[in-house]
Structure 1
Amino acid sequence: MTTSIIPKFEVLFNLQEHSAGTTVTKISPDGSHLLSADQEGTVIIWDLRTGRSLQRFNLSTSQGISAAIWCPVYPNEPAEAFAIGEATGRVTIYRRLQATNYDYASTLEAFTGPVEDIAYDPRHRRLAMAGDGCLKLFGLNGAYTMSFIHSTTPREQIARSTGFYSDGACVFVCFLEAQHITCYAINPWAVQFDGDLDTRIGCAVLREGGELFVSNLKDGMDVYTFPPRAIPVRNARFHIDRNFPLDVAVATSGEFAVIGGEDGHARIYNTHLGVMDALLPHGNHDSLIQHVDVYTAGRRTIIVTGCADDTDGSLKVWVPVARSRRILGASEAFRHWASWGLRYACLVIAVYVATLVVFKWLSRLIVTTLSPTNLPMENITGVRWRRVAEHILE
């Protein structure tokens, strides 16, 4: 997709195996797999080509899955491993060996509270983790063992979002209620930017080389330049009542972003036009569609939306409406307008014929009325009208 026109989307799969609200939806870097988790600690790996669940396991000691990220060490195996962050502060990595199921690889107690967010830089094999009011950085080796690199000084506010930029040379962390963002260069470690945004930060995602998209827990989504100024350059407004942190996901192409909602819909934001372009209906009018993700590569686009209601962990996989269906829709529209045009043409012809018949009938009436037996010949005006009528009847 290279234009400002965002395609229409339709549901490809409706996935219903979670019995509790979803907490994570992450598409693998190659778009082949989906990792989802719920409030009861259940993790499911899905095949996005068939919609089938490939593996399911439950972290029985977990208080819920709070974050996750795909973290392949080898570029030729983009769905080889993923990291899961729990509400207890534990981070565990699972890897797949020779196309078998995913198995435990390593774990560490990163925080005392929930792991709020995890980001991965495949170029330098680094994991950034937000939690306990700070940012922590870990390295990853070929055996998927994590090694500590750096930690920032903890703050009293919630460290809500993190991400890499500048090809993994830098990292940022955002704080929820403090409306604060800090950006760091990693090697050597140094502060690049430190400042406040205009609103709270429910979720922050950076489009590489572009803009920072922030769900603000107040009235929608804000778009900032990066490094950000205090005031956003654009806003996308929609109604918010419950102030849940809504996920934001930005297409790799940068043409659109997807944000969750609390009215049963996710929304597509057109970055070129600066407007909400479409709604993706997922649940009831009050369903919390909190978690979203998007994958784009060439002409392939996948959007995943997840419901976070207590007893509804449904997932929907969205793809652009097939070209054949778009052509069929255009053909149906053409047939509709052609049929309408034919009916209109028939109506016009009928009116014309009726008008002609009435006009000829009136002309005969005029000839009869103005005939010599009824009108003196010396009445020049009458004679002229009679001749006109006779000429019409010819």
Structure 2
Amino acid sequence: LCHELAGHSAGIECMAISMDGLTLSSSNNDTFVIIWNIKTGEAVQKINKAYHVVISSIVWIVLNDSTEPAFVFGCADGSLHLYKKQTCQRMFEFIAMETCHNSAVESLAFNPIHCRLASIGGDFPQVWKLTAAGTMALISNSTEQKPLVARNIFFCDDGASIVVCYLESQELMCLSIEPWAVKWSKTIPTRIGNACFCSNDGSYIYIANLTNIVDQYKFPTLERVQSFPHAIEIKRPVQVSTTALGAWVVAGGDAGFACIFDRRTGQLVQRLDHSKCEYIYTCCTVISALSDSCST
């Protein structure tokens, strides 16, 4: 354990580590976003968005022609907020806001190739083009609503398509962005509590299935190739993530610890105990190219 970061008054709702592995953003029901220095454990900045109630998702981004980090967070009212660190400044500054969904923003994804942001709320997925100035221009034109709970959204096909994962229908739907059209829709045998996509050493989707926790599927065939046993009792969604270039799979749990699995062998590598011994929903991982180290 490197640091115990204390700053929120309730359970963590969402976290994300910057692409360089140096900074962590976190939020929960206290409606604050806290920016942390991962190396020192210091809380660098606290952003209060109380009038937007819960902050439900965060993703780090890079704007065109900029080397400064930036991030977007989504709120329970369906709004997106973009913050960027200005050159030679320590703090992140507000850049833009868009109201895009009719309920909480469940998931965000960023594609650096096309500098696009994807969002999903309680209605339909949306894709945004991010400009160098930080403005968000909507480029998707779907208005078809699905009466389902969407859990995750991510890019595939080098950013030319998105995939949306739905909880109850056990469905994964792939859409091309330009032109905007459904490419395919497939179902799996379990519900989708949480999912992540990894394209290292092949393309796979890892799904927390609310039963025996994590299944590994080939993408896009959705052939199940492996399961990682890590039973949960309360059947609540927990987050799943990958690290070490896809070699490890990390999953939260409901008994006060998270688990790291070896993706190739399926074996448990390490159990990460949390000092609060409670339900662990959120986990995030990154490999820093600067230090060649893993942060979880």
TM-score, normalized by the shorter chain, greater than 0.5? yes
Report the counterpart of residue 87 of structure 1 in structure 2. Answer: 76
Which residue type is aligned with residue 69 of structure 2? E
Residues 252 and 297, structure 1, Cα contact 8 Å, conserved in 2: no
**What are the within-5 Å matches in structure 2 for residues 337-356 of structure 1?**
none
Q: Which residue of 2 aligns with 1:250?
A: 242
Pick one of 179, 200, 213 that aligns with 2:206: 213
**Any unmatched runs of 5+ in structure 2?**
none
Q: Quick check: which one's helix share is greater?
A: 1
Aligned partners of 2:19 and 2:288 also within 8 Å: no
Counterpart of 1:337 in structure 2 is none
CA distance in 1, matches of 2:194, 2:141: 21
1:37 aligned to 27, 34, 44, which one? 27
Larger Rg: 1
Larger relative contact order (C-alpha < 8 A, sep ≥ 6)? 1
**What is the distance in 2 between the residues matched to 1:212 and 1:276?**
19
AA aligned opposite 2:242: V
Q: Is residue 135 from structure 1 mapped to residue 128 from structure 2 by the alignment?
A: no
Map of 2:184 onto structure 1: 193
**Alignment match, 1:96:** 85
What is the CA-CA distance between 1:151 and the residue it aligns to? 4.3
Please, which of 218, 231, 239 is the counterpart of residue 225 of structure 1? Answer: 218
Between structures 1 and 2, the one with greater strand share:
2
What is the CA–CA distance in structure 1 between the aligned matches of 2:149 and 2:213, rounded to whole Å? 20
Residues 156-187 of structure 1: per-residue CA shift (max 9 Å, x gap)? 00111000122212210011111000112222
4+ residue segments displaced more than 4 Å? none
Q: Structure 2: which amino acid aligns with 1:116?
A: E
Please tell me the residue identity of whatever aligns with 2:14.
V
Contact 1:135 1:159 in 2 (8 A): no
Alignment partner of 2:264 out of 259, 269, 272? 272
The answer to whether the 8 A contact 1:134-1:151 is kept is no
Matches of 1:206 and 1:215 in 2, distance apart?
12
Q: 2:43 aligns with which of 34, 47, 53?
A: 53
Q: CA deviation at 1:19?
A: 1.3
Q: Secondary structure at the match of 1:164?
A: strand
**What residue is the counterpart of 2:193 in the other structure?**
202
1:157 aligned to which of 148, 164, 188 = 148
Equivalent pair of 2:18/2:69 in contact (CA under 8 Å): no
Aligned to 1:309: none
- Give 2:127's aligned amino acid: L
Contact 1:197 1:228 (C-alpha < 8 Å) held by counterparts? no
- CA-to-partner distance for each residue in 1:271-303, whole Å, 9 max, x for gaps? 111223221011344x01111111114562333
Q: Report the residue type matching 2:110 in the other structure.
A: Y
- What corresponds to 2:160 in structure 1? 169
Identity %: 30
Deviations 1:86-116 (A, max 9, x none): 1111111011111321111111111111000
Q: Aligned pairs, how many? A: 291
Mapped partners of 1:182, 1:71: distance in 2: 24
- The amino acid across from 1:71 in the alignment is I
Task: Give the distance between the partners of 2:35 and 2:294, measured in 1 at CA.
Answer: 16
Tell me if the contact between 1:292 and 1:303 (Cα under 8 Å) persists in the aligned partners.
Answer: no
Asked whether the equivalents of residues 90 and 111 of structure 1 are also in contact (C-alpha less than 8 Å), the reply is yes
Q: Which moved more, 1:289-298 or 1:119-128?
A: 289-298
Secondary structure of 2:253's counterpart equals: coil
The corresponding residue for 2:273 is 281
